[in-house]
Structure 1
Amino acid sequence: MSGFDTVLVVDWSAGKRAPKRPSKDAIWLGLTRQGVSNDPVYCRTRAEAEAWIADLIATEGRAGRRLLATFDFPFGTPAGFARAVTGSDDPFALWAWFADAITDAPDGSNNRYDVAERLNALFDGPGPFWGKSHRDRWPGVPYRKEGIRFDTFAEKRACDAVAKAASSCFQMAFPPTVGGQMMMGLPMLHRLRALGGVAVWPFEDTTDAPVVLAEIWPGLIEEAVKSAPEDEIRDRAQVRLLADALARLPTEELAAEMGNLPDAARVEAWILGARIRTRLTALASTTAPPLRNDCFALPPGVHWTPVEEALAHLRAALTPVTGTETVPLAEALGRITAADITARRANPPLPNTAVDGYGFAGGRDAGLHRLPLTQARAAAGDAPATVPEGHAIRILTGAALPQGVDTVVLQEDTVIDGDHVSFHGPIKPGANTRRAGEDFAQGDTVLPAARRITPADLALLSAAGHAGVPVRARLRVGVLSTGDELVEPGADVAPGQIHDANRPMLRALITAFGHSPVDLGRAPDDRAALRRTLDAAAPQVDAILTSGGASAGDEDHVSALLQETGTLNLWRIAVKPGRPLALGLWDGVPVFGLPGNPVAAMVCTLIFARPALGVLAGAAWEDPQGFDVPAAFTKAKKEGRTEYLRARIRDGRAEVFASEGSGRISGLSWAEGLVALGSEARQITPGDPVRFLPFASFGL
């Protein structure tokens, strides 16, 4: 069995129209496509949900993605019930019976209790269906289960026992209302099955089916659901976590779970995952917020954190926080792919010629060859013609090879004599042609997930047949400067004040990284004012960069506030320029507290914040590309800290700025990159190799 590209988990409802505002006890749809978890969809009515699911089936089919669609109501009933109702053990006969019997109005009102009463009349004694919304209505449906005897068939199916499900398909009211959900769900499944390409597990062979429908029970992962955010609607969390868990289940494990079922499953159905409850719970539990309160924490006792250790810890701790969307190719430059993207068509789609010349079938031995020419001509864009055996055709670069042509001789190597072409061999079969799909075949992955799209990628996507591309939403990064000494650029300054150089620089860096900067302005050295600024910023952004106030002094309010939230990790990083880097969370939003000095702020942003923000945005971790070049300077470097010197390349050598002082902002403008010197002591003289990191390798 092949795996699934897309997993859908449906939490169904038998009730009337749900409120406009997302709520519990309604219909929720969880979707994970190619490993990417989508925001769950809330549906107010069954008709709306069915239309959404049918559209999803069509969409995934057009994209060539295999879909596993799962639903949280019984697909079958205990053995014997279907035969008593339809005269057959075929579960699909019961589906058709319910499709004919059930009526469902646009507002969600329906006749499920009438149908339960009609079914109960087929059996002696009360039941088997019980439970109703009004004690004085539907006299044929008992209000409670007491007195119902399940002697003709069992109350529960074999899979209900294995999954330890609390209720049965005969319970119509008092949550969980499984019987009502089944009655309102089976007609929908009956219609979906008629769409084509849809197979139902375990009733049918689903080995190669493009769409597989299966029964699930979210209660299997209840322990994982308990760890979901407190403010998340429980039904929403269930479908989100279960879709992720099923998508993460390795293909061979899913195949094993869907195989080797008891005989009863062919009649009663089976709950997918019933035998691997612990495994699914573990997979669901791996879905966690992008950052934990201790995600920046380092081992106790660490005083000076090496740069490599800090980067490794960041890389391991972060996960994407952005959602997904599909954008046209014209808007995709610089965006991050949300999933692996496969080719919708091969490139080239047909065999074609690589040169201007004359085409014919087969190669030719040494010697002179003279072939009659057809009157037709093949050019790029022409429908392939047919060339008679032993004839040649005029063919131009890029033209699809006509029928009867597999070899092309260069125009420069031929002589035209009336209606014949002459040339000397030898020439190999297939010469000067391109095979269909020699670049990539239909279905090949042309771009991986987590890749930042380049102009060349746009050409590749277009050739692969894509008009749009699934991408991550842009990461919103707040930029905040702190300090009483700061005024806006160009404003009048009083003694002791300086213009804010960090915010313009950091906003530009965020834009260059492909994210969306959000200007949070300036905050004074006032803890209450800074708290209000962060409170207002958190709902608007996905991450925050602050500059200043990140150390442990009296006026270092950023680190002090993060300390109050219990999320602060004040790293004393063995780096120059820099050292203090405050990392933490504010109302769940990652905060990078940068040094206030512009040189240190820029270096820390490039080295630490840039790759971290990339991961939060959905990209792969990106280390800057460095090059070993000869030094054009002399330096006695002490042991202990990794140093980044402002540098540029002249005559193939790395020059460094005249002063290493971090207050010399002009050196940032002068530089074209950084020279990185490791933590070991070094005596550098002109000509010694040093590592140069051009600003271009940081995306600048």
Structure 2
Amino acid sequence: MIQFDQLQQQVLAVVRANPPKNLVLRDCVGAVLAEPILATVDLPPFDNSAMDGYAVRAADVTNLPVTLRVVGVSSAGHPADCTVGAAEAARILTGAVMVQGADTVVRVEDTQPAASPHSPDTQSLDTQSPDTQSLDTQSPDTQSLDTQSPDTQSLDTHSPDTHSPEMQISEAPSEFVVITAAPAPGANIRRAGEAARTGDELVAAGTVLNPGHLGLAASAGCRELMVIERPRVAVLSTGDELLPPGAGQLEPGQIFESNSTVLAALARSMGCEVTTHHCMDDAASLRTLLMELAGSHQLILSSGGVSMGGEYDSMRQAVAGFDVEFLKIAIRPAKPMAFGRIEESILFGLPGNPVSSVVAFELFVRPAIRQISGLAPALPPLIHGVAGEQLPRLAGEFTYMLSTRQDPQGDWVSTGGFGSHVLGGIAHAQALAVIPPGPEPVAKGSDLHLIPLWS
């Protein structure tokens, strides 16, 4: 009999981390980052508008309402070719480059179109003031407001440069805008570099990459990332009684094979490249398949054929001569297991009972995959809870009980008891309750430590 922590140490002693490799960004989700992601540009690269509206000078919108002359448009990818002066504004769309001369963005909801600088109930800035730019459209010193002039930008709403579903633009755009409310100076502008400066670390090495990380890397101009090579895992089911799901009607003594589905999903959820296989109870065929898989996979996860009374199991015969040991672990479920090497590949011979195979995966395979992936091999941090019912305890063995809670703040209850074959218990479980050896059952209301599942 071997203690589970001794077997964990034995497993990790023979597992090595994979080398790093470059992967294109789209293939990196779930991979472990080998080198930090650094910003290659400022983020954002330029001052831009946080919303649709009008770029203005804050000094021009202190007394409201006020009418301003519209001198241009800045849209995403098409900066405005103008400068906002006194008593002027420029249309601006979300993400567009900030217009020269403007220091504030007024959101479109706080504006109204106007046909002239003397709209009713608004204050017109004195166009003859020496401190402001004349609004006399006939003055040779001002820009013509003729929308057909070659010197001005048309606000035709059918232009692909200016159309925005969020910002309604009429077919005959207004040459003036009434500002009815104004934010504080500098509002609604995203400043260049406010998220990150060139050279800043965006994502640390050792991070398991999610879609958000990839989006951040793309925004920083990264096409490829240096990641740890993914573990290559073969999942192998064995047994004459197993029928692939959907392969036909069950004959007497047959069951649908489910272990490979669960184990493959667990490995894929950890970023592994996974293949699945099945072999009948024939030692020669199984040995041939194991040797083929060992040539292309780092880990082989088999289920079945490792029971204590295994005279009918072909696994022992198939691995004869290899460095594989059949073990009896001081835990329940998942007491029987095989572990060792098939050439350069590591074999985990997991129990055939579904719950037992999941428990064995969580205790022994998960730490191994984490170490191969370049991560710390520790199990997920234990969570603390309270027993919502009396739970059985064994005198000399640790028990791992499939458990769930009825609501986010509720106590923990078993989903399947000791039945290592109960698939319904797996489907509804949220954690494994860790029950140390002892003479008495765990009383309702007692403190529990639990290993979270599916994390």
- Same-fold status (TM-score > 0.5): yes
Q: Which residues in structure 2 correspond to 1:475-486 (within 5 Å)?
A: 475-482=231-238, 486=241
Deviations 1:204-229 (A, max 9, x none): xxxxxxxxxxxxxxxxxxxxxxxxxx
Q: CA deviation at 1:584?
A: 1.6
Which residue does the alignment assign to 2:43?
347
Q: Which residues in structure 2 correspond to 1:104-123 (within 5 Å)?
A: none
Find the partner of 1:488 among 239, 243, 254: 243
Secondary structure of 2:55's partner? strand
* Contact 1:481–1:548 (8 Å) recurs in 2: yes
Distance 1:355 1:425, change over 3 A: closer
Which residue does the alignment assign to 2:149?
none
Which residue does the alignment assign to 1:676?
433
Q: CA deviation at 1:539?
A: 1.1
* Contact 1:559–1:582 (8 Å) recurs in 2: no
CA distance in 2 between counterparts of 1:403 and 1:457 reads: 33
CA distance in 2 between counterparts of 1:578 and 1:675 reads: 13
Q: Percent sequence identity over matched residues?
A: 30
2:105 paired with 1:408: yes
Distance 1:413 1:482, change over 3 A: closer
CA distance in 1 between counterparts of 2:183 and 2:419 reads: 71
Query: Aligned AA for 2:96?
Result: A
Which segment is superposed worse, 364-373 or 395-404?
Answer: 364-373
Q: CA deviation at 1:538?
A: 1.5
2:74 paired with 1:318: no
Find the partner of 1:533 among 289, 293, 296: 289
Distance 1:395 1:472, change over 3 A: same
CA distance in 2 between counterparts of 1:658 and 1:553 reads: 25
* Contact 1:367–1:425 (8 Å) recurs in 2: no
CA distance in 2 between counterparts of 1:433 and 1:343 reads: 21
2:358 paired with 1:661: no
Q: Which residues in structure 2 correspond to 1:146-185 (within 5 Å)?
A: none
Deviations 1:273-304 (A, max 9, x none): xxxxxxxxxxxxxxxxxxxxxxxxxxxxxx54
CA distance in 1 between counterparts of 2:373 and 2:417 reads: 36
Deviations 1:247-266 (A, max 9, x none): xxxxxxxxxxxxxxxxxxxx
Q: Which residues in structure 2 correspond to 1:23-422 (within 5 Å)?
A: 304-307=2-5, 310-311=7-8, 314=11, 318-321=15-18, 324-327=21-24, 329=26, 331-360=27-56, 372-390=68-86, 391-412=88-109, 418=117, 419=176, 422=179
Q: CA deviation at 1:587?
A: 0.9
Which residue does the alignment assign to 1:446?
202
CA distance in 2 between counterparts of 1:375 and 1:445 reads: 40
Q: CA deviation at 1:544?
A: 0.7
Q: CA deviation at 1:481?
A: 3.4
Deviations 1:325-371 (A, max 9, x none): 53352x44444445433333332221112233433456799766958
Deviations 1:662-696 (A, max 9, x none): 13344334x23333224265854555554555544
* Contact 2:415–2:429 (8 Å) recurs in 1: no
2:272 paired with 1:515: yes
Distance 1:679 1:570, change over 3 A: farther
2:219 paired with 1:463: yes
Query: Aligned AA for 2:102?
Result: V
Deviations 1:562-592 (A, max 9, x none): 6844x44655444321133332221111111
Secondary structure of 1:661's partner? coil
Deviations 1:533-563 (A, max 9, x none): 3223211322111223446656477568768
CA distance in 2 between counterparts of 1:541 and 1:322 reads: 15
CA distance in 1 between counterparts of 2:95 and 2:300 reads: 51
Secondary structure of 2:295's partner? helix
- Provide the TM-score with structure 2 as the length reference: 0.69
Query: Aligned AA for 2:421?
Result: G
* Contact 1:304–1:572 (8 Å) recurs in 2: yes
Secondary structure of 1:405's partner? coil
* Contact 1:487–1:493 (8 Å) recurs in 2: no
Which residue does the alignment assign to 1:506?
263
Structure with greater helix percent:
1
* Contact 2:111–2:177 (8 Å) recurs in 1: no
* Contact 2:392–2:441 (8 Å) recurs in 1: yes
Distance 1:538 1:370, change over 3 A: same
Q: CA deviation at 1:600?
A: 0.5
Query: Aligned AA for 2:51?
Result: V
Find the partner of 2:362 among 590, 601, 606: 606
Distance 1:337 1:478, change over 3 A: same
CA distance in 2 between counterparts of 1:562 and 1:324 reads: 33
* Contact 1:451–1:620 (8 Å) recurs in 2: no
* Contact 2:43–2:220 (8 Å) recurs in 1: yes
CA distance in 2 between counterparts of 1:597 and 1:687 reads: 30
- Could you list the runs of 5+ residues in structure 2 that have no partner in the other structure? 118-175
Distance 1:420 1:365, change over 3 A: closer
Query: Aligned AA for 2:426?
Result: L
Which residue does the alignment assign to 2:302?
546
Q: Which residues in structure 2 correspond to 1:638-649 (within 5 Å)?
A: 638=394, 640-649=396-405
Secondary structure of 2:275's partner? strand
Find the partner of 1:588 among 344, 348, 371: 344
CA distance in 2 between counterparts of 1:392 and 1:315 reads: 66
CA distance in 1 between counterparts of 2:454 and 2:310 reads: 38
Cα RMSD after superposing both structures: 4.0
Which residue does the alignment assign to 1:166?
none
Q: CA deviation at 1:609?
A: 1.1
Q: CA deviation at 1:426?
A: 8.1
Query: Aligned AA for 1:380?
Result: A
Q: CA deviation at 1:413?
A: 5.1
Distance 1:363 1:560, change over 3 A: farther
* Contact 1:352–1:399 (8 Å) recurs in 2: yes
Distance 1:636 1:590, change over 3 A: closer
Q: Which has the higher contact order (CA 8 A, sep 6+)?
A: 2
Query: Aligned AA for 1:581?
Result: M
Distance 1:346 1:436, change over 3 A: same
Which residue does the alignment assign to 2:129?
none
Which residue does the alignment assign to 1:433?
189
Query: Aligned AA for 1:350?
Result: F
CA distance in 2 between counterparts of 1:459 and 1:517 reads: 25
* Contact 1:552–1:559 (8 Å) recurs in 2: no
